[in-house]
């Protein structure tokens, strides 16, 4: 039996990029997830890990609409390995294909542009 599942909770490092591939919405994101570690002196620190995430369809549209740089989110998905040729030779990449993206954090206060209802 094979299992390919990934669960991450982290923050977006840049704004999501929404594109269309035929009739399908595709949203590319990068998520930073900190790993705690103890150095040789016994001091705890954080090491950031960066993951490329792709969402499709309605999920992609929602990500592009509601997520922003720095926003926390939880991602449940699978790993996908790609390989391609470029001028520099063979290139490889592992990305996370999101099956579910959960938006975390509370609702923000309205900005000046949105107006404040009284």
| Per-state percent for the chain, helix, strand, coil, to nearest 5 | 10, 60, 30
Are 76 and 51 in contact, with CB atoms under 8 Å apart? no
CA 101 vs. chain centroid, Å, equals: 8
Note the pLDDT tens digit of each residue in 63-77.
999 999 999 999 999
pLDDT at 67: 93
Alpha helices, DSSP H, located in 29-107 = 57-66
Are 14 and 44 in contact, with CB atoms under 8 Å apart? no
Task: Say whether 59 sits in a helix, a strand or coil.
Answer: helix
Domain range list for the chain: 6-103
pTM of the model: 0.80
Can you point out the beta strands (E) in the chain?
A: 6-12, 17-21, 24-38, 44-56, 72-86, 89-103
Q: Residue 76: count other Cβ atoms within 10 Å of its Cβ.
A: 14
Q: What band does 114 get if pLDDT is binned at 50, 70 and 90?
A: very low
Q: Which residues pair with 89 in a beta bridge?
A: 86
- CB-side neighbour CA atoms (13 Å) of 31: 30
**CATH superfamily ID and name for 6-103:** Nucleic acid-binding proteins (2.40.50.140)
């Amino acid at each position: 039996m094979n299992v390919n599942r990934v669960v991450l909770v982290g923050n977006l490092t840049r704004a999501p990029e929404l594109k269309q591939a035929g009739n399908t919405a595709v949203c590319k994101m990068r998520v930073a997830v900190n790993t705690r570690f103890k150095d040789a002196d016994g001091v705890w620190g954080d090491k950031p890990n960066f993951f490329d995430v792709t969402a499709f369809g309605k999920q992609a549209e929602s990500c592009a609409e509601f997520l922003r740089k720095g926003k926390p989110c939880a991602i449940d998905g699978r790993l996908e390995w790609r390989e391609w040729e470029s001028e520099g030779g063979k290139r490889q990449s592992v990305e996370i294909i999101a099956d579910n993206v959960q938006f975390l954090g509370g609702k923000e206060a309205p900005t000046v542009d949105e107006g404040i209802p009284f």
